[in-house]
Amino acid sequence: MEEVKVNGCDGGSSLEDSNKDLAYVTKGLEAKAQVIVNDVIINETELTKIRLLRAFVETQDPSSKEEDDLTIRRFLRARDLDVEKASTMFLKYLKWRRSFVPNGSITLPEISNDLADNKVYVQGHNKIGQPIILIFGAKHFQRKNGLDEFKRFVVYALDKICVSMPRGQEKFVSLVELKGWGYSNSDVRGYINALSILQDYYPERLGKLLILHAPYIFMRVWKIVNPFIDNKTREKIVFVESNKLKSTLLEEIDETQLPEIFGGKQQLVPIQDI
């Protein structure tokens, strides 16, 4: 059994204390080839790391007992199975969730303005069963004093798509349609905050993000946003060439699952209706 160091998390535990907290887990841990949770396979290495992380964070935040193994694994994978780094990330998430979503979910009256824009839809799934979320960038507008509502809207949308995830799936695919996007739609602070929420609090939920019809002026804004994107997220972002749009989408998504606006057969469903 490898020695795992866990420190630097909320609560100020020392390395010695952390190792004591983990001792009962490492002692006599039975090796298993794999386990299956909600039709998702967790291998032996990941299962061991999950137990180590859970043992530590429960000493720091008892509410972590309510989180399932798949959630913990996503935080571990976001930090390359480094228990120390994943523990810090996970404890930060628990603290944020209590503060930002104190009632457990975002209600429709809290995001009425962003919902009225009709900018986020869901439809179908890709070829490996990941649900698809479609975002219309030209329908988003920066509002005065509207950043907090937009952040709540992002959390609402992510929660909805995650809760509706079919068994055996943990990730979704996002299509960002930028046709008609202009400076009036530019919202650098909103984009950066949305990315931060996705990366910090919903790790390993994004399967791929396809950006469609990106105009030249959008690329100027993208240069500002790009440094705030972590490497794992950046690897999942693809700018699709307009002259190869349908062929590129068909590589990922069967025609029966494509939205009608892209030559497919799926009708769009507003995020609030799923």
Query: 30-41 pLDDT, tens per residue?
Result: 444 577 766 678
Question: CA angle, corner 146, sides to 111 and 155, nearest 5?
Answer: 45
> Where are the alpha helices (H) located in 130-242, listed in sequence order?
147-163, 188-201, 216-225, 231-234
- Terminal Cα distance for the chain, rounded: 45
Mapping DSSP onto H, E and C, the string for 54-115 reads: HHHHHHHCHHHHHCCHHHHHHHHHHCCCCHHHHHHHHHHHHHHHHHHCCCCCCCHHHHHHHH
Question: For residue 218, which of 174, 186, 176 has the smallest C-alpha distance?
Answer: 186
Tell me whether residue 2 is exposed, middle or buried, using C-beta atoms within 10 angstroms of its C-beta: 0 to 12, 13 to 18, 19 or more.
Answer: exposed
Which domains are delineated in the chain? 15-100 (1.10.8), 108-273 (3.40.525.10)
pLDDT in the model for residue 195 = 97
SS3 174: strand
Distance in angstroms (rounded) separating the CA atoms of residues 98 and 103: 8
Beta bridge partners of 34: 43
Query: 174-194 pLDDT, tens per residue?
Result: 999 999 999 999 999 999 999
Mean pLDDT score of the chain, rounded to an integer?
A: 88
pTM here is 0.85
Instruction: Supply 53's token pair.
Output: 């992380």
C-alpha distances (whole Å) from 215 to each of 12, 13, 24, 87 are: 48, 50, 56, 40
Query: Average pLDDT of 203-228?
Result: 96
Reply yes or no on whether the pLDDT at 260 is more than 70.
Answer: yes
116 DSSP assignment: H
Query: Average pLDDT of 119-147?
Result: 94
pLDDT in the model for residue 38 = 67
The H-or-E segment that residue 175 falls in is strand 172-177
What band does 25 get if pLDDT is binned at 50, 70 and 90?
very low
pLDDT in the model for residue 33 = 57
Reply yes or no on whether the pLDDT at 72 is more than 70.
Answer: yes
